[in-house]
Structure 1
Amino acid sequence: MKINKLIKKILMISCVVMIGTSLVACQTSKTQGTSDKQELVMGFDDTFVPMGFKDENGKLVGFDVELAKAVGEKLNKTIKFQAIDWSMKESELKNGNIDLIWNGYSVTDERKKMVEFSNAYLNNRQVIVTLANSKISSKQDLAGAKVGAQNQSSAVDAIEADGDIIKTFDSGKIVTFETNNDALMDLEAGRIDAVVADEILAKYYIKERGKDKYKVLDDDFGKETYAVGIRKGDTKFVEEFNKALEAVVEDGSAGEISKKWFGEDIIVKADEKK
């Protein structure tokens, strides 16, 4: 009897150890240092033209998509593209579901609390877009207007940071949309009066849909930069990533990708970084 009890006790301890080991292994896999991974998962909004989106054939294309592939080659890692709910991007990164937030991701003080940022690679503004025949010609003219922006975007952050201007909007709030495309469609339909969005995206849409339809105001909601979001505390990988990014800039690859998508080289160079 004593032997049987001893065997049962040993078996129970073994099971506990095995379960514990499995849990640790699972957690280790989830929190594995990014530097050690051969495949990096890039989280992005697949409607964000011209940075990362699906073309008419369903193929994934865009400036950030091509730049990510080029940087991945320098890192000797494969990039896996994963469309995500943009409003959940920081949570996806923190939970280990993605390794990079890379899709026209603007650097803000609030985001710095949640992620590590790579070096900046593009400059941007939060511009105000209206229909060409709109009477709105300045930021002050937004009083009483229905102003739209993508939910959880830096456009929303920029508006909220601009004093009490939201209080002057129709109903005292921003009309938010799942995508910038939805916002611009409502603008065209006359359901809203203006859209605040990334200048790079706005220029692309205007070029594709017709310059005669829209106007971009001289006023804006501030300048910013695009960078890549990396898991908080993963400073080792940030350093590795920055070296790879700089290599792509220095060898001219980034500039060529920029010319393809924007018609000119607008990459932030080393001497332009703050």
Structure 2
Amino acid sequence: MKKALSVLTAAALVMSLAACGSSASSAASSEAASSETASSEAASSEAASSEASGELTTVEAGKLIMATNATFPPYEMTTDAGDFEGIDVEIAGAIAEKLGLELQIDDMDFDAALLSVQQGKADIVMAGVSVTEDRLLVMDFSDSYATGIQSIIVPEDSDIASADDLAGHMIGCQRGTTGYIYCSDDFGDESVTAYDNGLTAVQALVNGQVDCVVIDNAPAQEFVAANPGLKILDTSYVEEEYAIGMGKGNTAMLEAVNGALADLKEDGTIQAIVDKYISAE
């Protein structure tokens, strides 16, 4: 069975507006469009110049926009009040503070979060993201800031005792994650059912729609604690590293994020954040 090895160096809505009016309004519209085009070209030229000079620029001035999928406790989740919290959220906040920026969190599906930085709609993506060869083709990644373990959740009376027993069983995974990729590669697409998030996958397991769930260990612990009758196998499926994704070729952003990460590791901030959410066993 293939055991994927984490690679670490270190996926639009189009709105159309139609208008009609008198010849005078048409002239005004033409003038406005011309002005908008000129402004857009000027902004693009300025952005290109900034990138060329290595100056840090963001999607929105003064902000660090983080794309995430806030259904991945304890890395990102929502409170009862609708606020965001978790390891990734706090680390991103600390990075933003280091860079003198305001953190803005955009919550979306996992695949959409990955695409957001590729399409220039977000500055970074943090959602327990692992570095893979395919992702490296379309994104850049920071240095690692946490270690992730792909764990296997099963019912307490399951006959699945290790990863070697997964063949012939239906596996539930979150769509677009490395767990989904690994299981599809190892056992075939027909043996894997993809869900929008880990919670839905675990609910499917509770309902008997799948035989097990492969997901990162930290959220696995949370899901098992909330669902009596489930357990996590002692042996992990895959071990990997988490990193921060960003636009391909954005050297200034990469250097800035890595610099902030290095400082936060050195002063103990990252470890303190991790310890706040994950108790040592």
> Same fold by TM (over 0.5)?
yes
Question: Structure 2: which 5+ runs fail to align?
Answer: 1-29
Match of 2:218 in 1: 200
Q: Deviations over 1:130-176 (max 9, x none)?
A: 111111112232232111101111111222343xx227xxxx33101
Q: Deviations over 1:67-113 (max 9, x none)?
A: 11111111111110010221223321122211111111111111111
Q: Assess if the C-alpha contact under 8 Å between 1:30 and 1:96 holds in 2.
A: no
- 1:186 is paired with a residue whose SS is helix
Match of 2:231 in 1: 214
Q: Assess if the C-alpha contact under 8 Å between 2:205 and 2:212 holds in 1.
A: yes
Give matches, 1:156-175, under 5 Å.
156-162=180-186, 165-166=187-188, 172-175=190-193
State the distance in 2 between where 1:15 and 1:182 align. Answer: 48
**Which one has a larger percent helix, Structure 1 or Structure 2?**
1
- 1:81 is paired with a residue whose SS is strand
Match of 1:244 in 2: 260
Match of 2:7 in 1: none
Residue in structure 2 matching 1:131, options 155, 161, 176: 155
Q: Deviations over 1:226-254 (max 9, x none)?
A: 00001100112211111101111111111
Residue in structure 1 matching 2:56, options 32, 35, 38: 35
Q: Does 1:223 align with 2:239?
A: yes
State the distance in 2 between where 1:29 and 1:48 align. Answer: 37
State the distance in 2 between where 1:258 and 1:77 align. Answer: 22
- The verdict on how the C-alpha distance between 1:109 and 1:78 changes in structure 2, with shifts beyond 3 A counting, is same
What's the CA shift for 1:203? 2.0
Give matches, 1:1-274, under 5 Å.
18-25=35-42, 27=44, 35-37=56-58, 38-162=62-186, 165-166=187-188, 172-210=190-228, 213-220=230-237, 222-264=238-280
Q: Assess if the C-alpha contact under 8 Å between 2:168 and 2:191 holds in 1.
A: no
- 1:233 is paired with a residue whose SS is coil
TM-score relative to the length of structure 2: 0.79
- The verdict on how the C-alpha distance between 1:40 and 1:29 changes in structure 2, with shifts beyond 3 A counting, is farther
- The verdict on how the C-alpha distance between 1:30 and 1:82 changes in structure 2, with shifts beyond 3 A counting, is farther
- The verdict on how the C-alpha distance between 1:258 and 1:264 changes in structure 2, with shifts beyond 3 A counting, is farther
- The verdict on how the C-alpha distance between 1:16 and 1:48 changes in structure 2, with shifts beyond 3 A counting, is closer
Q: Deviations over 1:38-95 (max 9, x none)?
A: 2011000011111111123322111111111111111111110010221223321122
State the distance in 1 between where 2:147 and 2:82 align. Answer: 28
Q: Assess if the C-alpha contact under 8 Å between 2:175 and 2:194 holds in 1.
A: yes
State the distance in 2 between where 1:126 and 1:194 align. Answer: 13
What's the CA shift for 1:216? 2.0
State the distance in 2 between where 1:206 and 1:185 align. Answer: 11
Q: Assess if the C-alpha contact under 8 Å between 1:49 and 1:201 holds in 2.
A: yes
Q: Deviations over 1:213-236 (max 9, x none)?
A: 31324151x221000001100112
Match of 1:270 in 2: none
State the distance in 2 between where 1:145 and 1:43 align. Answer: 33
State the distance in 2 between where 1:80 and 1:42 align. Answer: 6
- The verdict on how the C-alpha distance between 1:25 and 1:207 changes in structure 2, with shifts beyond 3 A counting, is farther
Using the TM superposition, name which of 245-254 and 135-144 deviates more: 135-144
Q: Assess if the C-alpha contact under 8 Å between 1:129 and 1:217 holds in 2.
A: no
- The verdict on how the C-alpha distance between 1:198 and 1:219 changes in structure 2, with shifts beyond 3 A counting, is closer
What's the CA shift for 1:29? 8.2
Whichever of the two has the greater Rg, that structure is: 1
What's the CA shift for 1:24? 1.4
Q: How many residues align?
A: 246
What's the CA shift for 1:36? 2.5
Task: Provide the aligned C-alpha RMSD in A.
Answer: 2.6
State the distance in 2 between where 1:28 and 1:96 align. Answer: 16
